[in-house]
Amino acid sequence: MRLPVALLIVLLTAHLALAYACGRAEAVPPQLAMLLVQAMAAWAVFTRYRRSPSLIRLPWLLLAVAVLMQMLWDSTNVLATVLGDTDGYLAALATVLSGLYVIPCMFMSTRSFTQHEPRAVAVLDLLLLCMVAALVYHFFTTLLSGPLAADPASIQVVVAQADAIDFSLAAMAIVRLLGARSFRWRFFYYTAGAYLLVNAIVACIYNRIEMHGLPWWAGSLIDVPHTLLVVLALRQPPRWLRSYHPSLAVSQTIASFAPILLSTMVVMLCISTSRINFVPSLLVGASAVLFYGLRVAFIQSRQIDHQRAIDQSAWRLEQQVGRDPLTGIANRTTLDKGLREALEEGRRTGRFCSLLMIDIDYFKQYNDSLGHIAGDACLVQVAGALSRSRVRVHDLVARYGGEEFAIVLIDTSREMAQEVARRLIVAIEQLQIAHPACPLGRLSISIGLAAQAEHTPVDPVSMLAEADHALYRAKRNGRNRFEAAGEDDPSASLADASSA
């Protein structure tokens, strides 16, 4: 930091001394010193660019390009003086560069720089800014050539126009500083905003002094914003910049407002240039409005796509949360919810539901003799067979836990549920899953049945307890069978399903 500051002091002193010695601000030697100060500013910004993480590199690069364009603009003026540019080509080129300098500044102050922004939006902004640069050039050249050039009022219009542009650029950067939530972005807008503001003030003073003839020291004014830029870009950022945190609402409002600033600024510019260049101003102004509309349309369509993707993943997540990961059927949470809804529906409509609790017989022995992997595969097979054997699509087949399953049969009477239970026992038999440790030699299930009645509570716990109790009886009574709750009388006990 010490070396650049020392160099800067040498250059600033040299500028003043050379201007004093030459007696003119526009003399070539002092202007060369000024160009070196600008080169230092571009180098300082470029150093920041190289040190920044990739997401924030582009704005620093744009700021460096803006300084380089100013440098190019001043170099063209120096060259015109050295060559004694009689045809005014170099002066015209300087005017073009003064217009182009606006582009990177506007771009860095109005872009959102988010990765989600569609590429088409960046292209539209760039296109609009190129049109603005062309308009500014056209406007300046019309005013400064031909009959209007002799009129002092023309010069005043150009100066006022330039001031309006410079102060708007500074204002845009400062507004972005107030809305930046990340410290790195705040630091960028702080540096850019301070530079653009001082640049606008200096240009405003310089242009007004120039109208009455420049004193020898006036050129040093142009060094001020560039000196500031070197100091700000190389120095440690001030502390308040770290502690300032805009709220999310403020930050979002400013970020979404930035593109409107660009269009508004272009339309205002077009209104003021339309007095001299009516058709080009009208074209650029209309494009600003049209491009803003297109930008909103592009962003909205991208947001609809994002929303759709979010909805899909939320739906997938919901499915996963309510599913048993091994068998893919509903899990205990979904069962509780589905059973409660079925009970409420039954109570409201009088179309009662039934519940089957299903348990695989001797499953511990199955695991012990064939291993847990085979046990898992067996659970998947049983779950598939139960799902295929349900009566209605709305019937809920769930894994209750371990080797226990449950089925909620909507609008199903006790008699119909008994019929379903019988069918399920047969369906598992038909799977013909060998079970060496089972007396039957193949896998079987036992079922406990509970049917909803007028008095059944809507809370699923009591119905689950009833069905579980019936299941316990089915196990006790020999397995491979079903029992219905409330039929404790052995004569009412339902027959072995295989004999049904």
Ligand X SMILES: Nc1nc2c(ncn2[C@@H]2O[C@H](COP(=O)(O)OP(=O)(O)OP(=O)(O)O)[C@@H](O)[C@H]2O)c(=O)[nH]1
Query: Which residues of this protein are in contact with ligand X, per CB under 6 A?
Result: 326, 359-365, 367, 372, 375-376, 379, 402-403, 475, 479
Q: Which is nearer to ligand X, 446 or 452 (CB)?
A: 446
**Residue nearest ligand X, Cβ-based:** 375
> CB of 361: closest distance to ligand X in angstroms?
4
> CB of 371: closest distance to ligand X in angstroms?
8
> CB of 422: closest distance to ligand X in angstroms?
19
* H/E stretch holding 143: helix 119-144
Q: Which is nearer to ligand X, 322 or 375 (CB)?
A: 375
Q: Which is nearer to ligand X, 293 or 402 (CB)?
A: 402
End-to-end CA distance of the chain: 96
> CB of 444: closest distance to ligand X in angstroms?
9
> CB of 464: closest distance to ligand X in angstroms?
17
Amino acid present at 233: A
Q: What's the CA gap between 60 and 37, in Å, rounded?
A: 18
Q: Which is nearer to ligand X, 44 or 382 (CB)?
A: 382
Q: Which is nearer to ligand X, 270 or 382 (CB)?
A: 382
> CB of 470: closest distance to ligand X in angstroms?
14
What is the three-state SS of 318-356? HHHHCECCCCCCECHHHHHHHHHHHHHHHHHHCCCCEEE
Q: Which is nearer to ligand X, 189 or 405 (CB)?
A: 405
Q: Which is nearer to ligand X, 227 or 327 (CB)?
A: 327
> CB of 383: closest distance to ligand X in angstroms?
11
Q: Which has the closest alpha carbon to 380: 363, 403, 356, 355?
A: 403
Q: Which is nearer to ligand X, 157 or 382 (CB)?
A: 382
Q: Which residues contact 149 (CB under 8 A, 6 or more apart)?
A: 143
> CB of 403: closest distance to ligand X in angstroms?
4
Whether residue 467 contacts residue 454, with contact meaning beta carbons closer than 8 Å, is answered with: no
Q: Which is nearer to ligand X, 376 or 459 (CB)?
A: 376
Whether residue 359 contacts residue 404, with contact meaning beta carbons closer than 8 Å, is answered with: yes
Alpha helices, DSSP H, located in 2-118? 2-22, 28-51, 57-83, 89-100, 102-110
> CB of 328: closest distance to ligand X in angstroms?
13
> CB of 402: closest distance to ligand X in angstroms?
3
Q: Which is nearer to ligand X, 186 or 479 (CB)?
A: 479
Strands 482-484 and 396-401: unpaired
DSSP of 187-236, one letter per residue? HHHHHHHHHHHHHHHHHHHHHHHHTT---TTGGGGGHHHHHHHHHHHHSP
Tokens representing residue 287 in the block: 């494009």
Strand order through the sheet with 396-401: 396-401, 404-409, 354-360, 445-451, 482-484
Whether residue 427 contacts residue 418, with contact meaning beta carbons closer than 8 Å, is answered with: no
Q: Which residues contact 390 (CB under 8 A, 6 or more apart)?
A: 397, 407, 409, 420
DSSP of 245-256, one letter per residue? ---HHHHHHHHH
Q: Which is nearer to ligand X, 302 or 323 (CB)?
A: 323
Residue in the block written with tokens 């297109």 = 294
> CB of 126: closest distance to ligand X in angstroms?
60
